[in-house]
A and B are shown apart, each in its own frame.
Chain A
């Protein structure tokens, strides 16, 4: 909720347990701050993330969504990251059709030790969504 008047987006990051989730941990080890409004959700593989999860997240009030998986050709489950990418594209199209900016969802890749990169991605996403404003389907409280 934004109590101070300024818009603080709610961002959900689906993080692969083999790469992006340890990367988020690594940001913690290195004490690199990133915005508190990033909700990290651990998934066994980026390929587990369904279009349904992305759409539901918007329904529940998310303003932006990150799907973070392993680097290409380094996926623990071979093709999970590629599948995630195509699902994110599909979600983009569906969102655009329903009047939600497709830029609110993005798929990026990380390695386990890229804590600083995780923090950077989180902060950049935060800035971008701040620019876009609240999601048009965000439930009013």
Chain B
């Protein structure tokens, strides 16, 4: 077979916009003189289907086996052109792009210098193209069952969504009953539905679904394996069993804790936390004396929490409704950035709840069961206001659940500085963990109101579905590969991999080596850079390819 390089260079002048300042035919003539160049084409609109079809035909007819595209940023159209290569029967990884639009013509006003830089970039892209290697696709089977840890409303919702998508789930909950925090809530304002009604309907769906297996009073002890093939050990009472899963969803929620050091006082009969107030509102008959004046204090700390604000507003309305008391909310800043929250705030105001905004924390003193508050409203600087109430409700800090540290070490995932689970990237992948096949939903990783948390439950169910629905996953095989003959099994890569995608394998009874798990690998190349033996090869970003782009330094000036 003929293995010689046959390079095709496709220049795009972006709808004639770039050809006004640069002579594309001159570039074409220069490029045609280079080695191994089979074909140079000038197009005006490579991003359009018609031009791509022509490009596909050129590649096929001329037997081109490396493609260079000099056009816009690879961030925009790398995938488009990879698909063209695929359709033309060339491995899509044999594409090299020169960014002559965003990083040349659009940013460098000096036309000649921009043209020169573009020429250098095209030549470098050609040199890089010579070093490219094909990466083959492969299909691997995945287990289609999903493990959900945490049987609160979010975990339950995710299980229901997955059951509608025909995926089997095992829902494990450490408490004796499902429902989590929702069991403690007195109301769900601004929703016109009670927590009991929500839970009853969800639990009905769970019990009726043949796809959901609920394990209460159960905990996760150990998880091994990788995405598509996790092996989990679950403990329930004295029995311990092993199950296989394709994906794991963590929905372990949050804990609430009163930070007395922030306030300088402890709770008492007249100072209660928001959770204690919820209990009182749930069973108002048990309260000896209905409070006449109720004060709320929120966001004393700078760590502002959406859950606490929402809870204060919700319960202020609850107090109005159940006790009929006068209510005053002392706050630094109310965050009402969610569906229905602005309305909730207005409902509070319409029902006569008074809001006072402070800058410095109010002074609180307690005398014979009466609470005296001294506060300076930001609208009336210099004026100290004196208020008194017979019940003061203080907010709690939202903290990670007690078992997050244990689960972190079992699953080998990251925690953020506050101790919540660390998203892969909050902007790009809000429900993804650093490991493929492990997802987060709800307040275990972000500060969310109920509606947002339920949206996440659906989101995470779809993420798991996307991974497992077909029962097999197409992967790029051995894009990153460890040469077993060079690997000394020093564990450097295993420790460095942020996605836990490297495992050890036994080559024979003496030698163990590290091996990349293709499905779990996310292609960052950190292992390639850290390997002291240079045993790891990253086909898409090899050292040679990166160094090739350092050639011709100084060429364009």
Contacts and interface: CB of A to CB of B under 8 A. Distances in A.
Interface of A: 1-3, 8, 10, 12, 17-18, 21-22, 24-25, 27-29, 31-34, 36-37, 39-45, 47-50, 52-53, 56-57, 60-62, 70, 73-80, 83, 87, 119, 141
Given A3-B557, A78-B422, A43 B525 contact: yes
A118 to B, nearest CB: 9
B525 A39 contact: no
Interface string B69-105: 0000111100000000000000000000001011110
Contacts of B550: 12, 39, 41, 53, 56-57, 60, 62
Interface string B386-398: 0000000000000
Nearest to A75: B425
Given A22-B75, A53-B547, A73-B416, A36 B108 contact: yes
Contacts of B499: 77-78
Contacts of A29: 102, 106
B75 A77 contact: no
A61 B556 CA distance: 13
B425 A44 contact: no
B546 A44 contact: no
Given A25-B102, A28-B106, A78-B424, A141 B554 contact: yes
Nearest to B105: A28
Interface residues of B, number: 53
A36 B524 contact: no
Given A45-B524, A47-B525, A77-B524, A17 B75 contact: yes
8 contacts: A45-B524, A57-B550, A61-B554, A73-B417, A75-B425, A76-B424, A78-B422, A80-B498
Nearest to B109: A33
Contact of A76 (B73, B99, B425, B555): B425
A2 B557 contact: yes
A41 B75 contact: no
Contacts of A75: 425
Contacts of A48: 524-526, 528-529, 538, 541, 546
Nearest to A52: B543
B543 A61 contact: no
Contacts of A22: 73, 75
A115 to B, nearest CB: 9
Given A47-B529, A75-B425, A83-B530, 9 more contacts: A12-B553, A22-B75, A25-B102, A40-B103, A43-B546, A57-B553, A60-B553, A76-B524, A77-B522
Contacts of A10: 553-554, 557
B288 to A, nearest CB: 49
B529 A50 contact: yes
A34 B114 CA distance: 11
Contacts of B73: 21-22, 25, 28
Given A27-B107, A33-B107, A45-B526, A50 B543 contact: yes
A8 B556 CA distance: 11
Interface stretch (B33-41, B228-236, B426-434, B450-458): B426-434
Contacts of B75: 17, 21-22, 25
B549 interface: yes
A1 B114 contact: no
B110 interface: yes
Contact of A87 (B528, B529, B541, B549): B529
B551 interface: yes
A45 B417 CA distance: 22
Contact of A74 (B74, B425, B551): B425
Contacts of B484: none
A24 B498 contact: no
A80 B107 contact: no
A40 B124 CA distance: 11
B113 interface: yes
A12 to B, nearest CB: 7
B291 interface: no
Contacts of A39: 549-550, 553
B486 to A, nearest CB: 16
The 8 closest A-B pairs by CB, nearest first: A28-B102, A48-B525, A28-B106, A77-B524, A78-B498, A45-B524, A47-B526, A25-B102
Interface in B368-414: 414
A41 B525 CA distance: 15
A24 B543 CA distance: 23
B415 to A, nearest CB: 11
B496 interface: yes
Contacts of B145: none
Interface string B515-533: 0000000111110111000
A28 B109 CA distance: 11
A45 B525 contact: yes
A141 B551 CA distance: 14
B299 interface: no
B174 interface: no
Contacts of A119: 107
A87 B526 CA distance: 11
Contacts of A8: 557
Given A41-B546, A43-B525, A76-B428, A33 B108 contact: yes
B540 interface: yes
Given A29-B106, A47-B524, A76-B425, A36 B549 contact: no
Nearest to A19: B425
B117 interface: yes
B237 to A, nearest CB: 37
Interface centre among B104, B107, B422, B427 (most CB of A within 10 A): B107
B235 to A, nearest CB: 30
A50 B532 CA distance: 11
Contact of B117 (A36, A47, A57): A36
Nearest to A37: B557
A107 B410 CA distance: 34
A24 B107 CA distance: 9
Interface centre among A8, A10, A49, A141 (most CB of B within 10 A): A10
A56 B548 CA distance: 10
Contacts of B523: 44
B498 A79 contact: yes
